[in-house]
Structure 1
Amino acid sequence: MPRFHHANLGVPPGLEEVEGTFLVDVLGYRRMEVPADLAGIARWYEATDGSQIHLSIDPDHRPAARAHTAIEVDEDVVVLETRLAAAGITFRSAGRGDLTVLFCVDPAGNHWELRHPAGNPAAG
């Protein structure tokens, strides 16, 4: 059975630090060490469940118009909205059945869908 391991997202040169800050400070990933042969061209981040986001530094990066990365978040939606706003990340919120979904674009222009189950005990 397939199991999700990581998504690889592009980031233009010079935005890797701000993109990493988004992943760590807003979404709660932790930075990982990359193999020596990837130093300077990739950065890796990991969530508590072991899933990862890999960033590839790409001088030709062009964000997709519709493609996006969707993750489930346990964080209280109000706390997450506050962190997004504090980081200068605009977002929109929508209900999807028993979900609250926040849609945003990260500093590199990549689209995100942040899904929060309404039945989650962390729900605010």
Structure 2
Amino acid sequence: MLTAIDHVQMAAPSGSEPQLREFYCGVLGMREAPKPPVLAVRGGCWFEAGGVRLHLGIEEDFRPARKAHPGLRVRGISAFAERLAARGVTVTWDEGLPGHRRFYSRDPVGNRLEFLEPLA
């Protein structure tokens, strides 16, 4: 029986860890989680915030995920979108999901991210 999603794995190009740290920690407000030494040698970064866990692993033939994406639930989505836009991150609103406010964005290596908040 499945009980939860432990983490979402996304890909990133070699050498992008500084950009990823700046975005996921500095812009999104997540914290970097330590990787076990046996996995740390592979590069990449792990990030956490609340119950959200994103793992970005290095992929030699990297191509950004332009359709596949994590859906990240946000509280105070308007203020969150303003925060991202103020940091130079493109925010694209989409009103196509009934009962939610949502927007899409991209991380610094081009991976698609969805941010959503259920309407009260």
TM-score scaled to structure 1, two decimals?
Answer: 0.83
Q: What does 1:22-37 align with in structure 2 at a 5 Å threshold?
A: 22-37=23-38
Counterpart Cα distance in 1 of 2:73 and 2:67: 19
Q: Secondary structure at the match of 1:65?
A: coil
Checking the alignment, whether the CA contact within 8 Å between 1:26 and 1:80 is kept in structure 2 is: no
Is it true that 1:55 corresponds to 2:56 in the alignment?
Answer: yes
Is it true that 1:101 corresponds to 2:111 in the alignment?
Answer: no
Instruction: For structure 1, list consecutive stretches of 5 or more residues without a partner in the other structure.
Output: 120-124
Equivalence for 1:11 = 12
Counterpart Cα distance in 2 of 1:87 and 1:55: 21
Describe the superposition over 1:7-33 as per-residue Cα deviations: whole angstroms up to 9, x where unpaired: 111111232121222222333321111
> Would the alpha carbon gap of residues 115 and 86 (structure 1) be closer, same or farther in structure 2, given more than 3 Å must change?
same
Q: Which segments of structure 1 move beyond 4 Å, counting only runs of 4 or more?
A: none
Counterpart Cα distance in 2 of 1:106 and 1:64: 10
In structure 2, give the amino acid aligned to 1:12: P
Equivalence for 1:71 = 72
RMSD across aligned positions (CA): 1.6
Counterpart Cα distance in 1 of 2:66 and 2:93: 19
The percent identity for this pair of structures is: 32
Shift of 1:46: 1.4
Counterpart Cα distance in 2 of 1:17 and 1:86: 20
Shift of 1:112: 0.7
Q: Which moved more, 1:108-117 or 1:13-22?
A: 13-22
Shift of 1:64: 2.7
In structure 1, give the amino acid aligned to 2:22: T
TM-score scaled to structure 2, two decimals?
Answer: 0.85
Instruction: For structure 2, list consecutive stretches of 5 or more residues without a partner in the other structure.
Output: none
Shift of 1:72: 0.8
Q: Secondary structure at the match of 2:26?
A: helix
In structure 2, give the amino acid aligned to 1:66: K
Counterpart Cα distance in 1 of 2:18 and 2:117: 26
Equivalence for 1:85 = 85
Counterpart Cα distance in 2 of 1:104 and 1:69: 11
